[in-house]
Chains A and B, each alone.
Chain A
Amino acid sequence: MTATTSARIREVRRPGAANRRPGTPTALRWELRKLAAQARARYTLLGSLLAPVLLVLVLDGQQRPPKDNIYGRHIHDSGYAMPLLVLGFAAQWVFPLLTALVAGDIFASEDQHGTWKTVLTRSVSRTQIFWAKTVASVLFALSVLLLLAASTITASSLIVGRQSLVGLTGQLLPSHAALPLVLASWATAIAPLIGFTAVAVLLSVVSRNPAVGVVGPVVIGLVMQLAGSLGGLDAVRHLLLTTPFESWHGLLTEDRFSGPLIDGLLVSAGWTVVCLAVAYAVLRRRDITGG
């Protein structure tokens, strides 16, 4: 230490400092800045931008399209088919994984780094930290979805073309009508994606383990897919968080139906509210000891 340390301490502790208290937006900026500094978050966003381009190139070059998947047989016929094929595929495990990469880690990483006590001994409350992390997770998930959608639709339109699209009931959708429907189809993934974000947040808070927070939602999503494919479980199927990912089908039929869309919104909202409520209660009551 230098001889002038005492003088500097007195200088640091000068009176009359401004006393504005930080709010949740401040905590959100804090979390977003941390997120921006994480290689994992940056690479996930970059991957969401570039991977669809590669996928479109590969699928477009294939002589045998994936006919078993919805819109798989039409990928060479219209540039709007490829985004719907990718949407159906991503719903199986890609969306849960991509959102969980951040949401599943965002609380548990504070335990991993032992930084809870560093953060919670400042001027922000647990409630503010909770909402800042949750909103940051949702923003990240929406960014990933936006990048995937934009990249897939743009790449497919440029590489395959903007031909008319065949609807799910065989009707022909002209290009100008197909694009809004494709965009709307991707938008239907927002609600269940937020639901999976909430699941990841819950696992992150409860387990305090980033691995559980990241892998857990993927496993839960796959189990739900499996349960949804079993016969005789229709009542349960409606309550699964994976079912709303299929609600866009109603947008591409001759007679459009919105029942699955509304059900999907309600189910996603239910999962989101329950998971976040439990996560919030656990975090509020937790004794910060080791971390």
Chain B
Amino acid sequence: MAAREANTGNPAAFFTHPASQPPSILAFLGGWIKKAPFFKRHTYPHFRWIWGGLWIGFCLLEGIGPALAASEAMPPVVQWIPEDALLVLEVPNPREVLDIVLAPEILQQIQQLPAWKNFAAAPNYRELQQGVQFLEKSLQIDWVAGVKKFLGGGLTISVHPKEALLLAVDCEDPEMLQQLHELLRGFASIEAAKQKQANRVKSTEYRGQTCWSFGPQEAHCLIGRRLLLTNKPDLLKQVLDRRADAKLGRLADSPYYQTARRATAEPCSARLYAHLKALPGVPQLQKVLQTSSEPLPALLFTGVVESLRRSTWLALSLRIEGNQAVLQAAMDGKPSEESLAKFAIASDPGQGALPPVETPRVLASVSFYRDLHGFYAAKDKLFPERTGGLIFFENMMGIFFTGRDLTEEVFGQLGPEVRLVVAAQDYDPAIGTPQIQLPAFAVIFRMKEPDKFFEIVEEAWQKALGLVNFTRGQQALPGLIMDKGIHGQTKYTVAYFSAKDEKDRKALDVRFNFRPTLARTGPYAIISSTEQLACDLIDALQKELKQSPTGQTLPLSGVHSVAVVRSSQIASLLRTNREALVRQNMVEKGNSRSAAENEIDMLITILGVVENLKLQIASKSDGAQATLEAKVQLP
């Protein structure tokens, strides 16, 4: 016989109920969540709660019982959430995401993951599987359909101060939600009776709704087809207050939230709002917001970090269109005119990064707007402690550009448009193939006075190659042979290693990945790790210049960083280097050969699924905006 449930009749007591042991079904779920390998890694308690909530929700759906439907038109959950929310994830149409994530092909791929295999081998997995099978059999519905039906109406997760969490799920079928609740309630009572303990199921009436608790630090409420589940009963009370009284402070009325909503694209499949100023000292966030003391990361990321640091809110939205997913981020901060990070922002409208260069075999193409002159001029303020990297850089540049003022006569000669290209290589059969195949890379600068400045660059380049040869000679290593080449009408300087004495042309030393080349086309100086990429870039830049009516490439207005990644090409390169990667994984992670193979193969598979990625970050008058587009090729 089930133990008697407690209806406190006293809402104050309910919302502040003491800690006690949960009944066994919740204990089982809680225990499983804690023990599952995936959750073990996430010590942050919120993750466990979110996943736990989803699980309870699924269990609720799977139950069969008397049909009790109480449908009502549901306003967005943000109209019930208190305005102090720190993070809010809204998934207005989960089916769009679930149809992809739970597609049989994807599930099949997931089941091949080593992490999944480990999880499936754990004893808890069998218990879980039995539970799911029982529910599937009882309900005559498979779990995939069940999850879709349960979450299909919408999902909202919010994080509040004092680690309070709210999970709101709009189920497609309110009757099933109600029925499952009854089922779990029954389980809880029976379990308590079995253990000869007092029934821990509690309920109370508040604002015309029945609020339930099956254990400590848990409270929930069913309102029509909506489940509200929280780890802090007081949060549930606040939510019900706002549902009943629209005058109380609601997130939907917050000007920050409203601005954030307007800044991201609608309609979307999911959106995230973060109140950055109110977020407590999350160590990871604090780390991100620190300015790097190393010049290169500072040059690349200071602008973005500064925008983030000055922002009150951050909004993310995910849009899925066919096989393309677009993630858009917006924030309301941007570097000020007085900021040291202003070198990363175009001061004039119409200025910005140039379009990324496309070449054959390209893996990644990145384009920046960075005022190198301004950056270098501010270096003493940016890096007051002068790091080893900066000292080395200045020493080297002092040798290469002897007798010239680096700030004015070197960096002052470069335009703010900098482009980087990484591409796979085709190896010349007459030379051979290296054992480890590395991609080629190149950087392209725009020169303000190319006729005058390129010769200076050429001199510096040859000094650098001489230094490399001298150093290698000291180490008894083969040196580079310098030569001149012509591609079309363009003359360039190339340096290469002789392969004449090489015995195994199919497994050459790693140095045969390099054939450093300097070339000039129009106003652009190309510094490339290989001759092949330099020639490809000469072609691409000449084509770009020809296509421009002004003879100058048009910039992307306001954009300060663009990156295009051909993920499938990277997968192909990784496939070529699979053996080396597997060996590296073995010593780096301490994996067995088979575990290392699994990890690398999985990485290659994932990269193969994502065909292309494009990230664009722009500064706007009202803040900063980032857009990440991913084109996926699902199996």
Q: Do A and B come from one complex?
A: no
